[in-house]
Structure 1
Amino acid sequence: MMTRKINLPPKKERHKLFGSVEPGLKLKPTEKEHMPDLQNAKMDFLFTIDSVGISNVKHPIMLKSDLNPKQQTTIASFKMTSKISHDSKGTNMSRFTEQLEKYRQNGGFTPSIKSLFDFTKELAERLKQKDASIEIKFPWFYERKGPSSELIGLNHAEATITVSYVKDVGFTSSASLTCAVTTLCPCSKEISEYSAHNQRGYVTMNVEFTEDYNEEKDWKAVLLNAAESNASAMIHPVLKRPDEKMVTETAYENPRFVEDMVRLVAADLYELDFVQAFTVECRNEESIHLHDAIASLSYRKD
C-alpha cells in the first residue's frame, strides 16, 4: 500500500499528464444540412446487401402472459435490420434506435405480433426502404408450484419473436422458446435392478405462425406446455421433500430419450392451428457422460 503524500496538480494539468491536448482548429461544418452524408451516397456499389442494421440493443419491455405474473417487465435484446440495394452506400443506423425510442416514449414497448407488424412497417418507411425485420430475445418468467406443497417460485424460459415486413409481400412472423425439463433415461431404467439416471434437458421450439394468428392464445404458455407435458418431469424452483418424492417418481414413470422428446413435442405442435411450420430440438446434459445427447426434427404443414 502506498503511503507517501501526493501533491496533486489541478485536474486540467492531470489530464495533460495523461495525454490530453488542447482542441485543434476546427474547419468542418457543424450544421447537419452542411455535413456530407456518406451513407446516402448513390452510385454502383457492386452488391445488394441482404441485411444491415443493429443488434445487441438492450431495452426494457413489458410482457403479457397467460401465466402468473400476467404482466411483467423484462430486458430484451433487439436486432433490427433492412436490405439495401447495390446503388446505396449504407443505411441510417440512428433511425433504428429512433424508432425504438418513439415506442418507449409512447407508453413503453409491449411486443405483440400486431405491434411488431406496425413497428417493422414504420421502420421501413423511416429508413426509406421496402423492407425491415426485427428480432427480440428476452427471458420470460412464470410461476411454478411444488406438486405437493404448492409453494410458489419463479421459473424462466428464453423467448424470441421475429417479424419481417416486405412492402410488396406483407408480413411473416415466428417465435422460439427454450425451456428446461427433466428427462429420465429409458435404457437405464430397463437394464438396472433399481434406479435410473436422469438429466436436465433443454427443449427449443421454433414455430412459424399462420397469417391469421391473433394471439388469442399466448404462444409462450402453449409452447411451454408442449415441452413440459411431454417430459419425464418438470423443473421446479421450490421443492420440499414431499414435492421431491412426487417429482422423482413422476420422472421414473415417464422415461424419455431425446428422440422421444422431439417426436412427442412435435405431435403437440402439429395440433396447434396457429402454427404453420416448426422445428423441435432437445439437448440433454447427460449425467453419466461428458457429452450431451441431441435430437431435432422439422415439419411444415403446407
Structure 2
Amino acid sequence: MSKRILPSKEERHKHFGSVPPIKGTKPTKKEDMPDLQNTPKDFLFSIQQVGVTNVKHPITIAADTIPSQQTTIANITMTTALVQERKGINMSRLTEALHDRHQSGWTVTLETLEDFAKELADRMEQPGAIVSMTFPWYFERQSPMMEKPGLIHADVTMKAEVSNTEKTKFTVGMTAAVATLCPCSKEISEYSAHNQRGIVTVEADLKADTGFEQDWKVTLLDAIESNASAMLYPVLKRPDEKRVTEQAYENPRFVEDLTRLIAADLYEWDALSRFSVECRNEESIHLHDAYAKIHVDCETNS
C-alpha cells in the first residue's frame, strides 16, 4: 500500500488558517519605538513592588553540608520600586540581568543576592528592589545505625530587600518535614502511639550587621529537626527503622510542643531580629491536620 502524498508544509499551514504577515506601519527598530514605561508624567501613586514572579531558573548554591556546592532550580521573584513619575519599568531588563549573572557563574549567597538586587534598582533607576528565591536544598544524610547514605532535601527561601534610604533587609526561610508522635496517644494507650509527618515552616529576618559566617540553612534545619520526635531519612534498613521508631516514642511532641521548642532555639540565635514558626501535622487518625504558629520579635521580647 503506497503512502499518501500530502500537501507541502506551507500549503498545510494555509489550509489550517495561516495567513501571510501584513505590511506594518509601526517602527521595527528599537531606537525608533516609543518607550511608554519611561514617559514622564504624574501617574498618581508610587508603587512599592513591580516586576516578574514565578521565574524558574537554575542557580548554584553553597552549603556546609555534602554536597558543598550544587545546582538547583529556583522559583524567583524580582521586583523594583516604581516612582510616581514613571508609568512602568522595563521588565525585560530583570530577566536579562538574571541571565547575565548566570553566565558569569555566580553562586547565590545572601551577599550576592543583595548585590544583584542593588544592580536591578540601578538598572531601573529606582530607589529600591527586592529579590527572593525559593528552591530545594539537597544534603546527604546517613541512617542512624547502619550509616547508609542518601540525599534528602528541604525547601529554602532567601530574600534581599535593598533601599537607597535604609539598610538591606534579609529574610530567610525553610520548610522541612519531620516525624512527630502524639503524647496523648502514648499516655492513654496500653501499647503503641499514633504518629504523623510534621511539616515545619520557619521564616526569619536576619540582622544586617551580624555577618553571615554561619550557614543559616544548617542552623534552621537543626532547629527544626532536633526538636521533633524523629528526623526523616532517605535510606533505612531494619536496625535503622527500629532506632527511629523507638526515638520517636522517647520524644513525643504535640504540634504546640514542636512550635515552642523550635522557637526557643531560634530565640537563642543572636543573628535574628524576628521570626515565625509554623507547624502542621498531617494526622494519621484524623482527616484534618493539627496546626500551630508562633511569631516572635527578638528585639522587643514579644
**Taking structure 2 as the reference length, what is the TM-score of the superposition?**
0.96
1:301 paired residue number: 298
Counterpart of 1:142 (choices 139, 153, 169) is 139
**Taking structure 1 as the reference length, what is the TM-score of the superposition?**
0.96
1:32 offset after TM fit, Å? 1.2
- Percent identity, aligned pairs only, is 56
Residue 77 of structure 1 aligns with an amino acid whose one-letter code is: N
Residue 265, structure 1, aligned to residue 262, structure 2: yes
Residue 172 of structure 2 aligns with an amino acid whose one-letter code is: A
Counterpart of 2:195 (choices 198, 209, 219) is 198
Q: Counterparts in 2 of 1:142-181, with a 5 A limit?
A: 142-181=139-178
SS at match of 1:226: helix
Classify 1:213/1:102 alpha carbon distance in 2 versus 1 (closer, same or farther; 3 Å): farther
Q: Deviations over 1:270-296 (max 9, x none)?
A: 111111111001000000000000001
Q: Deviations over 1:153-203 (max 9, x none)?
A: 111000000100111113110100010000000000000000000000011
Residue 77, structure 1, aligned to residue 75, structure 2: yes
Q: Deviations over 1:63-105 (max 9, x none)?
A: 1111111111111111000121232211110110121122112
Counterpart of 1:104 (choices 77, 102, 105) is 102
Single out whichever of 92-101 and 256-265 deviates more from structure 2: 92-101
Q: Deviations over 1:115-161 (max 9, x none)?
A: 11111111100011010000001000011111111001111000000
| Inter-partner Cα distance in structure 1 for 2:68 and 2:104 | 21
SS at match of 1:149: coil
| Inter-partner Cα distance in structure 2 for 1:232 and 1:63 | 30
Residue 88 of structure 2 aligns with an amino acid whose one-letter code is: G
2:50 paired residue number: 52
RMSD over equivalenced CA pairs, Å? 1.3
1:12 paired residue number: 10
1:27 paired residue number: 25
| Inter-partner Cα distance in structure 2 for 1:7 and 1:213 | 73
Single out whichever of 91-100 and 260-269 deviates more from structure 2: 91-100
2:181 paired residue number: 184
Q: Deviations over 1:26-53 (max 9, x none)?
A: 2211221111111112222222222110
| Inter-partner Cα distance in structure 2 for 1:218 and 1:118 | 19
1:6 offset after TM fit, Å? 3.1
1:250 paired residue number: 247
1:4 offset after TM fit, Å? 9.2
| Inter-partner Cα distance in structure 1 for 2:280 and 2:211 | 31
Retained in 1: the 8 A contact 2:228–2:258?
yes
| Inter-partner Cα distance in structure 1 for 2:121 and 2:292 | 38
Classify 1:252/1:29 alpha carbon distance in 2 versus 1 (closer, same or farther; 3 Å): same
Q: Deviations over 1:244-275 (max 9, x none)?
A: 00000000000000000010000000111111
| Inter-partner Cα distance in structure 2 for 1:149 and 1:215 | 34
Q: Deviations over 1:1-39 (max 9, x none)?
A: xx9953311111111011111121122112211111111
| Inter-partner Cα distance in structure 2 for 1:6 and 1:213 | 74
Residue 155 of structure 1 aligns with an amino acid whose one-letter code is: I
Single out whichever of 41-50 and 54-63 deviates more from structure 2: 41-50
| Inter-partner Cα distance in structure 1 for 2:167 and 2:189 | 56
Counterpart of 1:118 (choices 115, 120, 123) is 115
Residue 7 of structure 2 aligns with an amino acid whose one-letter code is: P
Residue 283, structure 1, aligned to residue 280, structure 2: yes
SS at match of 2:263: helix
| Inter-partner Cα distance in structure 2 for 1:213 and 1:104 | 28
Q: Size of the alignment, in residue pairs?
A: 299
Mind listing any 5+ residue stretches in structure 1 that lack a counterpart? none
Retained in 1: the 8 A contact 2:57–2:76?
yes
1:205 offset after TM fit, Å? 0.8
